[in-house]
Amino acid sequence: MKRLVVVSNRVADPGCSQAAGGLAVCILDALRKRGGVWFGWNGEIVPDDADIDVSRVKFDELTLATMPLTERDYRDYYLGFANAALWPVHHYRLDLARFTQEATDGYRRVNDRFAEKLAPMLKSNDLVWVHDYHFIPLGAALRERGVSNRIGFFLHIPFPPPDVLCAMPEHEWLMSALVEYDLVGFQTKTDQANFLRFMCDFMQGEMLTPDLVRVGGKTVTASVFPVGIDVDSFAAMAESPSAAKRIERLHRAGEPRINVIGVDRLDYTKGLPDRLRSFKRLLEIYPQNCKAVTLMQIAPPTREDVQAYADIRHELEALSGEINGQFGDFDWTPVRYLHRRVDRDTLAALYRGSQVGLVTPLRDGMNLVAKEYVVAQDAENPGVLVLSRFAGAAEELQEALIVNPYDADEVANAMQRAIVMPLAERRQRHAALLARVRKHDSFNWMDGYLRALSACRMPLAA
């Protein structure tokens, strides 16, 4: 078996039981089993003049090779270009996108530095797999340094329609960098179609097969590989005796009967204010839920140095305060909002103890929380998933109650339907959803991708 070298900005710590971010969760699940090298940022920020070295730590078959970012890199590359330009554009939020020359330069600089450090570590047979929007030009930077290995790229976030992408000043450069990869993977057919449309309409690409496009003498395969989770180990967490104790505490006498749960990084793409407004509508339209239903929203901090993230936090805090002030009573708090990370086994228990899983992003690459919620349920008495049509997961998880997250009344009605849904229907929907989540688990995702990468055609002559 060829050695696998995975590259991503965020690298999970295998010794830590908390994770906030779908990329780290699915890569860790799959890579722990297969083994390989995981290269990326160690999460540290060092002064601009510090020496940058790669350090290595081994966890069984998995080696983490990581390095810090300088203060300037963190500001320009991570906050500036990756999270204030690419992230909003890819999530269709041009109103929040900020473009500056410093940020673009920082992005190029960090991609070059990562390529510089990685190239000498590679063996000729390694499969190289680059992840997400932080490293779009990394493949091209490796090619410039003479790396001729198979190199694949996977985009964890949405690929927007060409007209949206074009608002990004650097879009031509970024898109021509993608053509340097042998295989570009997407979460959904919509993302793949948007990419191919861009290649054909804006870069004079020519389709050779339904997923192979030739652009300027280069060929690239673009396919769909929906990410998943490690189903068995997450189910085991949800079924453990400690989970049962936690669920009992959640439902102890005097507490509301029905728990609705939301778990998301506090990101503006997750539609959290819209979700709270929908919950408010639930209490207004169906007042029988007052004192009976609680929304538990767990939203850990993320990217707080970007202004849009600070803004969304204030908005959410104001809204939850408003709802609790208007509807709450001495013995009932309608919205329980926790602004922190929690252990994965606690999360699993909370999902299992919640009758409704509310996953309503305004736009999302996949959304693993939706899959975790399904896996954590008790098949005999499962809860109901209410899922945004704008989450990548909605392409697969059709047996959820699919909603438009912008329409507060529609989401409120779906919540009510979930609360009163008969057991037989809940079981039926859950069984179908679980089968789909199992089909695309983290191992199949990695396996399928690597098989496709190994099978990619060698570049055609121009």
Residue 77 to residue 273: CA distance in whole angstroms:
28
Sole window of 22-30, 173-181, 188-196, 447-455 interacting with ligand ADP (rule: CB under 6 A) = 22-30
Q: Does 369 bind ligand ADP (CB under 6 A)?
A: yes
Q: Which is nearer to ligand G6P, 10 or 93 (CB)?
A: 10
Among 187, 194, 302, 355, binds ligand G6P (CB under 6 A): 302
Taking CB atoms, the residue at the shortest distance from ligand ADP is 22
Element (H or E) spanning 335, and its range?
strand 335-338
Is 308 in contact with 266 (CB distance < 8 Å)?
Answer: no
Q: How far is the CB of 24 from ligand G6P (least distance, A)?
A: 6
Q: Are strands 218-224 and 183-186 parallel, antiparallel or unpaired?
A: parallel
Query: Could you say whether residue 10 binds ligand G6P (CB under 6 A)?
Result: yes
Q: Pick from ligand ADP, ligand G6P, none: which does 300 bind, CB < 5 to 8 A by kind?
A: ligand ADP
The separation between CA 259 and the C-alpha centre of its own chain, rounded to angstroms, equals 24
Q: How far is CA 344 from the centre of its chain?
A: 16
180 binds, among ligand ADP, ligand G6P, none (CB under 5 to 8 A by kind): none
What phi, psi does 71 have (nearest 5°)?
-60, -40
Q: Are 293 and 258 in contact (CB under 8 A)?
A: yes
Q: 293 in helix, strand or coil? A: strand
Q: Which residue has the tokens 């989970």?
A: 243
Residue whose C-beta lies closest to ligand G6P: 21
Distance of CA 455 to the CA centre of its chain: 27
Residue 132 touches which of ligand G6P, ligand ADP, none (CB < 5 to 8 A by kind)? Answer: ligand G6P
SS3 325: helix
Binder of ligand ADP out of 347, 362, 434, 453 (CB under 6 A): 347
Position 21 contacts ligand G6P (CB under 6 A): yes
**Tokens 């939706």 appear where?**
370
- Which one of ligand ADP, ligand G6P, none interacts with residue 303, CB within 5 to 8 A by kind? ligand G6P
Query: Judged by CB under 6 A, which of 7, 12, 19, 23 binds ligand G6P?
Result: 23
* Shortest distance (Å) from residue 312 CB to ligand ADP: 14
Full DSSP string of 137-148: THHHHHHHTT--
Q: Does the footprint of ligand ADP cover residue 350 (CB under 6 A)? A: no
User: How many residues can be counted in the chain?
Assistant: 462
Active site residue 76: no
Give least dist CB 64 to ligand ADP, A: 19
Q: Please say whether the beta carbons of 292 and 260 come within 8 A.
A: no
Where does this chain touch ligand G6P (CB under 6 A) — which range of 20-28, 239-247, 328-336, 411-419? 20-28
The reply to whether 394 sits near ligand G6P by the rule CB under 6 A is no
Site string for ligand G6P, 122-151 (x = CB under 6 A): ----------x-------------------
| Set 191, 230, 264, 364: catalytic member | 364
The phi-psi region of residue 36 (left if phi > 0; otherwise alpha if psi is between -120 and 50; otherwise beta) is left
Q: Closest by alpha carbon to 440, among 452, 448, 429?
A: 448
With beta carbons less than 8 A apart as the criterion, state whether 258 and 334 touch: no
User: To 10 degrees, the CA torsion angle through 22, 27, 30, 31?
Assistant: -160
Least separation, in Å, of the C-beta of 134 and ligand G6P?
7
Considering only 34-42, 68-76, 287-295, 360-368, which stretch makes contact with ligand ADP by CB under 6 A? 360-368
Among 6, 7, 12, 25, binds ligand ADP (CB under 6 A): 25
Q: Which residues are CB-contacts of 252 (< 8 A; sequence separation ≥ 6)? A: none
- Of positions 3, 33, 303, 336, contacts ligand G6P by CB under 6 A: 303
Burial of 403 (0-12, 13-18, 19+ CB in 10 A): buried
Among 32, 91, 150, 156, binds ligand G6P (CB under 6 A): 156
Contact in structure between 73 and 106 (CB atoms under 8 Å): yes
DSSP letter at 240?
S
* Catalytic status, residue 364: yes
Choosing from 91, 134, 341, 352, the residue that interacts with ligand ADP (CB under 6 A) is 341
Ramachandran category for residue 169: left, alpha or beta (phi over 0 → left; psi -120 to 50 → alpha): alpha
Provide the b/e sequence for 146-168 (b: ≥16 CB within 10 Å): ebebbbbbbbbbbbbebebbeeb
* Residue number, 10 or 33, with CB nearest to ligand G6P: 10
**Residues with Cβ < 8 Å from 327, sequence gap 6 or more?**
280, 283, 290, 334
How far apart are CB 405 and ligand ADP at their closest, in Å?
Answer: 14
Of the residues 7, 19, 237, 358, which one makes contact with ligand ADP according to CB under 6 A = 19
Does position 180 interact with ligand G6P (CB under 6 A)? The reply is no
Exactly one of 150, 246, 265, 430 binds ligand ADP (CB under 6 A); that residue is 265
91, 134, 156, 440: the active-site residue: 156
Q: Which residues are catalytic?
A: 156, 364
Residues that bind ligand G6P (CB under 6 A): 10, 21-24, 132, 156-157, 302-303
Enumerate binding residues for ligand ADP (CB under 6 A): 18-23, 25, 263, 265, 298, 300, 341-342, 347, 366-369, 372
